[in-house]
Amino acid sequence: MMGQVEQIIKVGIADMSVIKAPQTIRTSGLGSCVGVVIYDPGQEVAGLAHVMLPDSTLAKTGTLNLAKYADTAIQELIKMIVKSGGRSHALKAKMAGGAQMFPNLSGNDMMRIGPRNVEAVMNELRKFKISVLSSDVGGNQGRTIEFDPLTSSLMIRTVNQGIKSI
């Protein structure tokens, strides 16, 4: 008997997507960016946003990329998950990233993008009453993450540190 072929959906920088099991979802290149996974474990549906910046007020004029900013990505991702069968009252979150990629410049608040991204994502999740069950944030290493909605497991590959699951 042949099993289902696992399909990995890739999310780019300043991008987001929603999946259902048996698909998994992955993003790489998380330095100061935050990868936030919001999911409904009972419905086996999950969304991932690769957030680059904390606040859409930093946007230049023109078309706003909702996935790029914490304050717009979380709200839009929740809508997409609910549209795909997730229940807003059952949503949980996991996140990784938010590294301080330029530790020598950490005295300048504008260069503290990683920590500011983490704080902004946490604030948005609190606003929607979504619990963060686990996170791997900070440090100064890049990460790649992959989420499986079947097991609610977030695999994190950190540069020079190997793989762990949260």
- Indicate which CATH number applies to the domain containing 25: 3.30.1330.200
Catalytic residue among 18, 33, 78, 113: 33
Residues 38 and 74: beta-carbon distance below 8 Å = yes
- Answering whether pTM is above 0.95, one says no
| 120 catalytically annotated | no
CA separation for the pair 143, 135 (Å, rounded): 12
**Which structural domain, as residue segments, surrounds residue 44?**
8-165
pLDDT in 10s for each residue of the chain, 166 residues: 444 556 999 999 999 999 999 999 999 999 999 999 999 999 999 999 999 999 998 777 677 899 999 999 999 999 999 999 999 999 999 999 999 877 665 555 666 889 999 999 999 999 999 999 999 999 989 999 999 999 999 999 998 888 889 8
Is 125 within a domain? yes
CA separation for the pair 89, 120 (Å, rounded): 21
Helix (H, G, I), strand (E, B) or coil at 32: coil
Listed in sequence order, the residues at least 6 apart from 166 whose beta carbon sits closer than 8 Å to its beta carbon are 94, 96, 134, 135, 136, 153, 154, 156
Domain count, the chain: 1
Is 59 within a domain? yes
pLDDT in tens, 64-78: 899 999 999 999 999
Is 17 within a domain? yes
Is 46 within a domain? yes
